Chains A and B, each alone.
Chain A
Amino acid sequence: MTIQTEPSARADEAPDAASTPRRLGRLSWLLIQTGTVLLAGGVWWFASTLFPPSTLPPPAEVIARLGELAITGGFWVAIAITLGTFALGLAICIVVGIPLGLAIGANPIGAGSTRLLFDFLRTIPPIAILPLLLLVFGAKFEMVLVLAVSGAIWPILIQSIYAARQGEALLAEMSRSYRIPRAWYIRHIFVPGAIPFVMTGVRLGTTICLLLTVSGELLGGAPGVGFEIANAQAFYDNTRMYAYVLVAAVLGLIVNGGFWAAQRRLLRWHPSVRREQHS
């Protein structure tokens, strides 16, 4: 519950602040939110009457097409490939990035030696190596995976280094003054202290990983949802293209939701969670 994105509005807000209406129930909000979504659909529908029909099909048509696609195998294969590549890429980044980052950060020489290097490498737009990967791997799933990993690893690695550096600084003081055993310190102070920093990196990595997975498929022509979008557009089948864009949005929602659920489990206790940066 500390993870909620909205800080609860203070009950004693401004007497003059019109922005604090009487509290509405959960149900009322759900209705209002449904209304907004319907309104957005309405705007879309209205806009579709302004453009030539092939350019911007009305929402109902796109939804209908989505329904048709959902009974084909290719649709689910594309989703499975995209989600699978994303998940594998993120897993590799986590498994490699966190321990490596913590190890480097915990060692002042390691942190110093890699600072300039990582600072440079992480600012390279990962998409830059897409053509190279295409040449080496071809338009395949491995190409997308390497692309995703090469981008998503940096935030995770850098945040882990940072986490460990903070922890080390504390350790130096603590062990001097209290002579705390190192194992105990790592278990009870270092790791819990590092988790919030690491999670920030993982959140950034999650966004970048999905972005790059879709980019690789879309640009590189490797199978997946990104490819389906580009392919539909290449055949001027805009309705199908919009349907797959909606799929990409849903994938984004699922991935975000998954991240928050994981974070909630890990960081139940941490008060600063909701003040962290978004990605």
Chain B
Amino acid sequence: MTPTSSDSTSTPVALEARGLGHSYGPREVLGRIDFAVRRGEFVCIVGPSGVGKTTLLRCLAGLQRSTKGELLVLGERVTAPQPGVAVVFQDYSRSLMPWSSVLHNVTLPLRANGVSRSEADRRAREALTQVGLAAAVVHQYPWQLSGGMQQRVAIARALAYNPTVLLMDEPFASVDAQTRADLEDLVLRLQHSLHLTVLLVTHDIDEAVYLSDRVVALSGSPATVADIVDVPLGAERDQIETKGTHEFAAIRAEVHGLVRHAATSGSGSGSGAEA
């Protein structure tokens, strides 16, 4: 499979996996994974639950070292968390510090990286505004907010960090449908305005197709890239209009086929890929 698609071959690669493999002890979870994400691209990785998406994302984030192959992020081999890479974790209730205010949650990474207090405050407030949180919440504790708002805080924390690459692990899996749609559009908007490179992991095929420029479908056990599907739906997307188009339905069906094929021919890891 070729990691590059027809157009825009000139754009530099932000993130690349070469023959990536990972085993937990004797258990091989990721087989040989190859794909690349170019600067400014929005790529989603889909696959059923338990296929190894989180493992892949943790390797990319430098949180764990892959047992085989190599990973390049912004031109560097990943051995530890890289500067310029921010992560939004799946479970907002566990990824925000309950003892710190919203503001302190967002400023901690900045302060830790040598940003002055006043500058960190300014950037944090700006990021919180960008994700649509009112100034009133900055001094509240995260657990005083709704789930959707908490995930907005987590996104703001990532944005304030000023990343080039944003990694997201099923960021909308535990919020209600309406909030989820809002947050999807929020991330799309931010990705455009800030020229972010986004790699988002999800088990939801609709979400993957709606959000991304390309979808990487993982399947099998150990997981490999079943295929990489281009999503030529344009830059402007709309929850109702885009999802109503024939192209959307066609791509959705294609990805569905890839994942379902995996579920039936693979190790029987369940049909967790239903939207």
**Interface of A with B (CB < 8 Å)?**
11-16
Contacts and interface: CB of A to CB of B under 8 A. Distances in A.
- Best-surrounded residue of A11, A13, A15 (most CB of chain B within 10 A): A15
A13 B58 CA distance: 11
A interface SS class: loop
A15 B25 CA distance: 15
B79 interface: yes
Interface string B53-73: 000001000111100000000
A14 B58 CA distance: 11
Contacts of A11: 24-25
A24 to B, nearest CB: 15
Contacts of A15: 62-65, 79-80
Interface of B: 24-25, 58, 62-65, 79-80
Contacts of A13: 64
B27 to A, nearest CB: 10
Contacts of B65: 15
B32 to A, nearest CB: 20
A142 to B, nearest CB: 49
17 contacts: A11-B24, A11-B25, A12-B24, A12-B58, A12-B63, A12-B64, A13-B64, A14-B63, A14-B64, A15-B62, A15-B63, A15-B64, A15-B65, A15-B79, A15-B80, A16-B79, A16-B80
A76 B62 CA distance: 60
A12 B64 CA distance: 6
Contacts of B79: 15-16
Nearest to B79: A15
Contacts of B62: 15
A13 B63 CA distance: 8
Nearest to A10: B64
B60 to A, nearest CB: 13
Contacts of B24: 11-12
A29 B64 CA distance: 26
A13 B25 CA distance: 13
A63 B25 CA distance: 46
B61 to A, nearest CB: 11
B3 to A, nearest CB: 25
A86 to B, nearest CB: 39
Nearest to A23: B25
A169 to B, nearest CB: 21
A11 B23 CA distance: 11
Nearest to B54: A12
Given A13-B64, A15-B63, A15-B79, 14 more contacts: A11-B24, A11-B25, A12-B24, A12-B58, A12-B63, A12-B64, A14-B63, A14-B64, A15-B62, A15-B64, A15-B65, A15-B80, A16-B79, A16-B80
A225 B24 CA distance: 52
Nearest to A16: B80
A127 B98 CA distance: 40
A14 B79 CA distance: 10
A14 B80 CA distance: 9
A14 B65 CA distance: 8
A25 to B, nearest CB: 15
B264 to A, nearest CB: 29
A14 B62 CA distance: 9
B74 to A, nearest CB: 18
A12 B25 CA distance: 10
Nearest to A15: B65
B69 to A, nearest CB: 15
Nearest to A13: B64
A264 to B, nearest CB: 28
Nearest to B58: A12
A20 to B, nearest CB: 11
Report, nearest first, the 5 A-B pairs whose CB atoms are least far apart.
A15-B65, A12-B64, A16-B80, A11-B24, A15-B64
A16 B62 CA distance: 10
